[in-house]
Chain A
Amino acid sequence: MGKKIMITDPEKCTGCRLCEIVCSVKHNGVSNPTLARIHVVKWDNEGFYLPMRCQQCKEAPCLAICPKGAIYRDPELDSVRINHDQCIGCKMCVQACPFGAMGWNSERGRVFKCDLCHGDPQCVRFCDMKAVDYVDAAKLQSCKMRESAENYSELMRRHGGK
């Protein structure tokens, strides 16, 4: 089982959308954000940016709704994958995904989603801020715990442990 998970940190995202372009070039050989598996949703009037992409759900609605069993779980990366040989292009998965992470390429007539670039996600590789990251789940938890503990201990020190 894969231990790494994809995470996003909107506080780090600068909204540059490089992740979208490298994704589209990597998978389609073209620059076209509408074909990217990741998209930075931006609220330009308040400066808030949030990269959105497949969460590789445990109970994946796309997988559950597929009438042909064309969507399956890849145990190696613990990711949700598409078997295009079995896909009939009904687009039920596109409608079912609560994150908008399943796309439809009308030119090629097929659905598409994040495949974690087979373990080396290009969005993560190119994002210098690491606003999108692919990290060890256990390490992420311990890091977050330490971060929170630091705040807490700072408070404790300031108040003399009382």
Chain B
Amino acid sequence: MALNRKIAYIDLSTGEVKTEAIPLEWRRKFIGGRGLDAYLLYKHCPPGADPLGPDNTLLISAGLLVGTMASASARTHVMAKSPLTNLLGSANMGGFFAPEMRWAGFDHLVIRGRAEKPVYLYIHDGEIEIRSAETVWGSGVYDTQDLLRRELDDPETQVLCIGQAGENLVRFACVMTGRKNAAGRTGMGAVMGSKNLKAVACRGTTSIGIKFPQEALEYNKQIIDQVISTKVSQIMQRWGTGFIYGVTNTTGLVRCRNFQYNQLPNSEDIECENLDKYSIGLDGCFGCQVHCRHRYIIKEGPYAGTYAQGPEYTSQGAFGAEVGCRSMNTVLVGNHLVNDYGMDTLEVGSMMAWAMELYEKGLITDKDTDGLKLEWGNDEAVIELVKRIAFRKDIGDILAEGPLPAAKKIGPESLQYLIHVKGMSNLHSDERPTPALALNIAVSSRGSDHLRGRPAIDLYNLPMKVLDKVYRNPDGYTGPLTNSYSEYDGKPRMVMWQELVYMAVDCVGICKYHTVFLSPNHPQFKEFAKLIYLNTGLEFTEKEIWDVANRGYTVERLFNLREGMTRKDDWLPDRYFDEPTKLGLPVARGKSIDREKFKAMIEQYYRLHEWDANGVPTPELLERLQIAELRTAA
């Protein structure tokens, strides 16, 4: 049965491992994956816990449909209190780890304490062993996986691990599996590092029962056909997420030179079409027919001959537009290094771009950088800086602390150049021309981020009847909606709806590219309900899944409030309001966010979520969602 996977409580300080069944009530309330993680984090992480201390609770989970045939049911979720934001830490990745964990018998790992010496967990068919990781401590992400597979004498073993960045407690270190799958944001790798936990290796041979196998097989074929019939999927199948760069950069939606420009002219070399020279084929996560990343080989320079995967759209920003570099080679090398060291490509790019602007303004000098010329477009300096961050050398040591602590060290004047929300940097998108996208990053439950609630389809200016079909269901919303991305009206609903669909997809463990993210025609609540029923036998209506998502998102909000977040943290850096964009098409040029309208948007967004004027969920909402006990516990 897909419902008989277990939850394991692992205390690394004492070595105690306890295994329990997952109550059906939790399934009904949270389904699994990220939603149940949020609940478990709230319960097990003591208020005010030091994110890098033994009390922080690390959750590693597989969603309810992971390992079934449900389209791209590959996702691993990782959660803990974030050492970057001191709020919710939460990150999600593809690859093959989560299905293997389910075949090995587990859905959730709840890890507390701190091992005395480096260890890794070996999970196989219901058993969990804590083993010494002395042989792999100090290794990068690629070697760690290869070495553990050799040590365990099983090439089919799937490994989730940290690289040197996690060991060095870089506050935006990732948890990785495979060559490029990263639970990237909010510093989950540093939490693993702080616990002396190098890796989790999994091998499972037990069956996940499918409730209605023949019907599930046929329905899944329908879902796959639905996903790969859309234009955007077909483009991704060919080019990967890198295709987005050409479109957004041409329009003027890419932040360049930190936040000085919204376009990097003459950057054809880093556009996706140029990847063909390096690509040896595409790569799919478990069960995915969209296979949105390349397998590539670096051709020039000291890394020539290195095999890596990606690069995603975000790396074109991190090692391209943000830092003013125009070389695909730099993008490929930078992407490879952050993956091997295990660092969030978005945060690295953003921290580097910020440092370069400070260098330009004279706020940091050659003395701080040990002579490294942090000039825009300096490819060698960018690659060198990546290494210094991972190994915490001179300026890298400061940047490794993340936006706010780094700004504190460099001085108050540096703060105004920082592009962050709640202490986490934004990716390389420039949201000044797109209020809906700006709202998403301001209110997201994990800080500035696009994968929490970005209504990306707003950028398509779709016909109203398409928006009505998507955004008015399944709860019968009747308020405003608008289909021009320059508008403020109606956008809070779109953000809130996306937040809940992304939460739902993270609960079942399917990839966001297989739901309404880049296409309005991809599966969502209704399809999830049928997939859950055919695979597990659990019956949910689409409205009930919406409620589950709402419950999960509300618990995340409660966690953030408990850890000290206030309404003022749902806001953007001043530059969004005060510096109009300089480049791009007319729709993107001369744009900034209007403070008053933005404030009204946030108020509207709170009302839609049934949160009060301070952004606190109302008692009525908590009562209805049956989580009132969490608020009183706080």
Contact = CB atoms under 8 A, between A and B. Distances in A.
Contacts of B142: 45
A25 B217 contact: yes
A48 to B, nearest CB: 9
Interface stretch (B9-17, B204-212, B391-399, B553-561): B204-212
B286 A31 contact: no
List the 10 shortest-distance A-B pairs measured between CB atoms, nearest first.
A16-B284, A14-B284, A30-B207, A47-B295, A29-B213, A32-B207, A14-B291, A128-B289, A31-B208, A18-B287
B208 A30 contact: yes
A34 B213 CA distance: 17
Given A14-B291, A45-B146, A128-B224, A31 B217 contact: no
25 contacts: A13-B281, A14-B283, A14-B284, A16-B284, A16-B285, A17-B287, A18-B287, A25-B217, A26-B213, A28-B207, A29-B213, A30-B207, A30-B210, A31-B67, A31-B69, A32-B103, A42-B155, A44-B145, A44-B146, A46-B307, A47-B281, A47-B283, A47-B295, A126-B221, A128-B237
A96 B291 CA distance: 36
A42 to B, nearest CB: 8
A129 B237 CA distance: 10
Interface in B123-154: 142, 145-146
Contacts of B289: 16, 18, 126, 128-129
Given A31-B69, A32-B207, A11 B213 contact: no
B96 A17 contact: yes
Contacts of A28: 207
A16 B207 contact: no
A116 B28 CA distance: 39
Given A25-B210, A47-B179, 17 more contacts: A14-B282, A17-B96, A17-B286, A18-B289, A24-B207, A26-B213, A26-B217, A30-B209, A30-B210, A30-B213, A31-B67, A31-B99, A31-B103, A32-B103, A32-B208, A46-B307, A128-B224
B49 interface: no
A21 interface: yes
B280 interface: yes
B68 interface: yes
A16 B179 CA distance: 14
B284 A15 contact: yes
A45 B207 CA distance: 28
A113 B174 CA distance: 41
Interface in A1-36: 11-18, 21-22, 24-26, 28-35
Contact of A47 (B68, B207, B287, B309): B309
B110 interface: no
A122 B207 CA distance: 19
B503 interface: no
A110 interface: no
B146 A32 contact: no
Interface string B278-308: 0011111111110100010000000000010
Contacts of A68: none
B611 to A, nearest CB: 39
A15 B216 CA distance: 22
Q: Main SS of the interface on chain B?
A: mixed
B146 to A, nearest CB: 6
Nearest to A127: B289
A112 to B, nearest CB: 13
Interface of A: 11-18, 21-22, 24-26, 28-35, 42, 44-47, 122, 125-126, 128-129
Nearest to A17: B286
B453 interface: no
B178 interface: yes
A45 B308 CA distance: 8
Contacts of B307: 45-47
Contacts of A126: 221, 224, 289
Contacts of A17: 96, 286-287
Nearest to B103: A32
B69 A18 contact: yes
B228 interface: yes
A14 B209 contact: no
Contacts of A14: 281-284, 288, 291
Contacts of B228: 128
A22 B96 CA distance: 16
Contacts of B280: 47
B295 A16 contact: no
A25 to B, nearest CB: 5
A16 B103 contact: no
A125 B69 CA distance: 14
B332 to A, nearest CB: 14
A131 B263 CA distance: 39
Nearest to B96: A17
Interface in B19-77: 67-69
A87 to B, nearest CB: 22
Contacts of A21: 67-69, 287
A16 B210 contact: no
Contacts of B213: 25-26, 29-30
B309 A32 contact: no
Nearest to A11: B281
A43 to B, nearest CB: 9
A11 to B, nearest CB: 6
A26 to B, nearest CB: 6
B47 to A, nearest CB: 39
Nearest to B72: A16
A80 B285 CA distance: 32
B629 to A, nearest CB: 35
A106 B16 CA distance: 32
Nearest to B293: A14
Contacts of B224: 126, 128
A122 B217 CA distance: 9
A30 B283 CA distance: 25
Nearest to A47: B295
A25 B69 contact: yes
Nearest to A34: B205
Contacts of B295: 47
Given A17-B96, A47-B307, A29 B146 contact: no
A78 B207 CA distance: 31
Contacts of B178: 44
Contacts of B179: 44, 47
Interface in B88-132: 96, 99, 103
A16 B291 contact: yes
Interface string B461-473: 0000000000000
B93 to A, nearest CB: 15
B330 to A, nearest CB: 21
Contacts of A47: 179, 280-281, 283, 295, 307, 309
B228 to A, nearest CB: 6
A29 B283 contact: no
Nearest to A12: B281
